Amino acid sequence: MRTQVGIVGAGPAGLMLSHLLHLRGIESVVLESRSRDHVEHRVRAGVLEQGSVDLLCRAGLGERLLREGLRHEGIELRFAGESHRVPMTELTGRAITVYGQQEVVKDLIAARLAAGGRILFEADAVRLAGLDSDSPVVHFRRDGREEELRCDFVAGCDGFHGVSRRAAPEGALTTYERTYPFAWLGVLAAAAPAVTELVYAHHDRGFALYSMRSPEISRLYLQVAPDEDVAAWPDERIWAELRTRLETVPGWSLTEGSILEKSVTPMRSFVVEPMRWKRLFLAGDAVHIVPPTGAKGMNLALADVALLADAFAGWYDRGRADLLAGYSATALRRVWRAQHFSWWMTSMLHRLDRDDPYETKVQTATLRYVATSRAYATSLAENYVGMPEV
């Protein structure tokens, strides 16, 4: 099989890159190890920055997003028995939209297939070869057979555990990483949200987040130990802990319902530099991960491939090599800005050391500064909604 850009991974990064290349007249083939049903129902991120919404709309993918997505113009911070709203749109002129990653993936798959795009599901990439040549090869397994995809470039969009990043030779990439001493227990509940905007709660027992996916579905998170066993959290225990951490405002109460899904996600910060090696270009979780507190993961992936699509277009349309050469340095400026913001939000809101009262006092002082300083609130808001340029 032959194409111009071979894309490994059918998450938001790989599918969006394929779509953007199609709009520029550039051929691609997407290889995905899982089934279509799996990737279309994999619950992940759900907050889109203003820039991500604009990108999807420019690419002709905004119809369902604008109809079903939930536009939010602020977020709420709860701490020390107080509640404070950060009016993001008032402060920045921009907003966020709550629209699940799986919905973005459904829209992208439908658009690619309608345009005759090639997405090979249950095609497991096992090895990349010839990355230092002008004709790299992706070796993959499908229906029990070994096959090859030859291309001009490989885009590795296959996540943290994929084969793409590991295809670079030892010593070619540098890893920066931090592991946090907690995880998130995330639940999807058939319960109408009791709030209209996301609620971030700092509590003595740990962080909690109240989010949503639709007018009927709530998405909620609890800070737990990194080795927490999800089986130790029956539904009633989850609701009791959510009530304790979130019902700190007089007169406000949770809306409860049946829990549809529950899982534990460890927290880490991770960046690899550079984001390319020879004819291999890395994007999304394959090359950087942020703790989800700042809602940056999917947005960074979309920003990566927007840059990468422009760079490939420069190469194929005008013979320019400078955009491909500069892809990593340009993308990393946004990546590190998002890394800092995600670390800052995480450090401000989570219990990092239950035996350190000094730390708790500093966190409360930081939260109160956000709540009372327009300048500090603006800094949080402009990072949260996404800065146009970094």
* Positions marked active-site: 72, 200, 292, 296, 384
Q: For 274-283, give one letter per residue: b (16+ CB within 10 A) or e.
A: bbbbbbbbbb
Torsion of CA 278, 279, 284, 288, to 10 degrees: -10
The token duo for 58 is 């420019």
DSSP lists the bridge partners of residue 79 as 82
Name the pairing type of β-strands 5-8 and 28-31. parallel
Q: What dihedral do alpha carbons 336, 330, 153, 28 form, nearest 10°? A: 90
φ, ψ at 33 (rounded to 5°) = -70, -25
Q: Which two tokens stand for residue 293?
A: 């507190």
CA count, 13 A, side-chain hemisphere, 255: 17
Distance CA 22, CA 60 (A): 12
The pairing of strands 174-190 and 258-273 is antiparallel
Around Cβ 49, how many Cβ atoms within 10 Å?
Answer: 26
Sign of CA dihedral 71, 74, 77, 81: negative
Give the position of tokens 């327009």.
374
Sheet holding 123-129, edge to edge: 123-129, 137-142, 145-150
Quick one: tokens of 213? 């996916």
Q: State how far the Cα of 291 lies from the Cα of 159, in Å rounded to an integer.
A: 15
